[in-house]
Amino acid sequence: MPELPEVETVRRTLQQLIVGKTIDHVTVKLPRIVQKPDDPHLFAAWLEGRTVRSVERRGKFLRLVMDGIVLVSHLRMEGRYGLYRQDEPIENHTHVIFHFTDGTELRYKDVRQFGTMHLFLPGEEWQSPPLNKLGLEPLDDSFTIEAFRTALGKRTTKIKPLLLNQEVIVGLGNIYVDEALHMAGIHPETPANEIAKNKRDLLHGSIVETLSSAVNAGGSSIKSYVNGQGEMGFFQHSLKAYGRTGEPCHSCGSPIEKSVVGGRGTHVCPKCQKPPRAVKAQRSLSKTNKRGNTVKNRLDGKNR
C-alpha cells in the first residue's frame, strides 16, 4: 500500500510530467474506478478540453486541479500512473487513459482495482467524501505542535490506532507510525492522554522527520519514472523498527519485538519504548498463567 511519502513522490512526478497538458478525450475501461459521477461517459465528457494546472495532495489522495474541475484520485493498494506515447502498447490492467492533445497519454493501471476517482467543481471536493473528514496534514505548515496537542486532546485511545485514524491525522500508515513511535521512544499501546508533554512534542517532530526523509528518499526515483518505466515502486527507506523483528535496535541493541496492536503488526524496541502500566500488568499476569503458577508463587519466587 503506498503511504504518504510514496503518494507525495507520485504527486511531484505528475507535477513535472502533466502540468500544462490539455485532455483531448478520456477512455474508461473499468467503470468501477470512477466513483463520481457514477456515469463513466459523463466523467469522460467533463474532462474533455481541460488543461492540468497543478497536481496537489491531501493525505493519500491526489488532486489533479484543472480549469474548472478537480479530479481526486486514490491509488489504494496497487494504483499506478504512467505517462506514455500514444503508440506504446497498452499494458494489462490499464483501466483509465487520459489522452492529451500533444499525443501523450496518462495511463492509470491498477491490478487490484481498488483505486478510486472522483470529479468535483473546484472547492466542492472539501465538502463531501472522500476529502471532507480528513484530519491534520503532517507535512503542511498547519501541522504545528499546538495543532497536534489539540488533536490528541484528552483521548484515551492507544496512540498507534489513533495515529492510523485518518480523521485525526492523515497519511500515516503502519510503517511510518511504527517508525515515528520508535523514534520518539513511545510504546504504541500507550493511551494518548498518558503520554508526557515532552514526549508528545517529540512525537510531533518524529512524525515530520520520518515522513520528510522518506519523501526525500522517494524523490530520487523521479528520473527513472520519466524515462518510461511507467510506474512507481516502493523505496528503500532506512527503517529502524518496521520489519526488523529480532534485529538489534540502533539505539540500545535490544532485539526489536513484533506484536499486534489494533489488529496491525507492530514493531517495538522493548527497552526504548517502555510499555504503559496497563500493558505491563497484563503481561506479567499472562506470563504467570503460562507457567501454571499463581501470582502468589511468583511473588514468593521473587523473594527467594
The binding site for DNA comprises 93, 112, 155
- Amino acid letter, residue 287: K
Asked whether position 271 contacts Zn ion by CB under 5 A, the answer is yes
Q: Which is nearer to Zn ion, 221 or 266 (CB)?
A: 266
Residues 6+ apart with CB under 8 A from 263: none
In the complex with Zn ion, the residue whose CB is nearer, 254 or 293, is 254
Stretch 272-291: interaction string toward Zn ion, x if CB under 5 A: x-------------------
In one letter, which amino acid is 56?
E
Q: Which of 3, 8, 105, 179 is catalytic?
A: 3
Tell me if 252 contacts Zn ion by CB under 5 A. yes
Q: Is 60 a catalytic residue?
A: yes
Nearest distance in Å: CB 272, Zn ion: 3
Task: Considering the complex, state which of residue 177 and residue 183 has its C-beta at the smaller distance from Zn ion.
Answer: 183
Establish if 269 lies at the interface with Zn ion (CB under 5 A).
Answer: yes
Annotated catalytic residue, options 21, 60, 109, 160: 60
Q: Which residues, other chains included, contact 116 with Cβ-Cβ below 8 Å and sequence gap of 6+?
A: 33, 35, 73, 74, 76, 130
The answer to whether 248 contacts Zn ion (rule: CB under 5 A) is no
In this structure, what are the phi and psi dihedrals at residue 186, rounded to the nearest 5 degrees?
A: -115, 130
Question: According to the binding rule CB under 5 A, does residue 247 interact with Zn ion?
Answer: no
Please give the annotated binding residues, written as ranges.
93, 112, 155
**Residue whose C-alpha cell is 488533536:** 151
Taking the complex as a whole, the smallest distance from the CB of residue 293 to Zn ion amounts, in Å, to 30
Task: Please name which of 219, 218, 212, 54 lies closest in space to residue 143, comparing C-alpha atoms.
Answer: 212
- The size of the interface with Zn ion (CB under 5 A), counted in residues, is 7
Q: Can you state the angle between helices 197-219 and 145-152, rounded to 10 degrees?
A: 120
Q: Which of these is catalytic: 53, 199, 264, 274?
A: 264
**Nearest in space to 136 (alpha carbons), one of 238, 17, 234, 4:** 4
Give the strand pairing for 94-100 and 52-58.
unpaired
Residue number closest to Zn ion, CB atom? 249
Binding segment toward Zn ion, per CB under 5 A, in 12-20, 57-65, 157-165, 251-259: 251-259
The stretch among 42-50, 146-154, 252-260, 286-294 that binds Zn ion (CB under 5 A) is 252-260
Residue 179 is among the residues annotated as catalytic for this protein: no
- Least Cβ distance, residue 26 to Zn ion (angstroms): 51
Which of residues 139 and 202 has its CB atom nearest to Zn ion in the complex? 202
**Shortest spacing between CB 253 and Zn ion, in angstroms:** 7
Radius of gyration of the chain from its Cα atoms, rounded to whole angstroms: 23
- Return the C-alpha torsion angle 251, 257, 259, 265, nearest 10: 70
Q: How many CA atoms lie within 13 A of 214 on its CB side?
A: 29
Closest CA to 266 of 244, 238, 234, 236: 244
Q: Answer for the pair 186, 207: CB distance below 8 angstroms, yes or no.
A: no
Give the H or E element holding residue 286: helix 277-291
* Residue of 249, 261, 266, 267 interacting with Zn ion (CB under 5 A): 249
Query: Is residue 302 among the annotated active site residues?
Result: no
Q: How far is the CB of 191 from Zn ion (least distance, A)?
A: 22
Cell triple for residue 154?
484528552
The catalytic residues are 2-3, 60, 264
Give the residues lining the site for Zn ion (CB under 5 A). 249, 251-252, 254, 269, 271-272
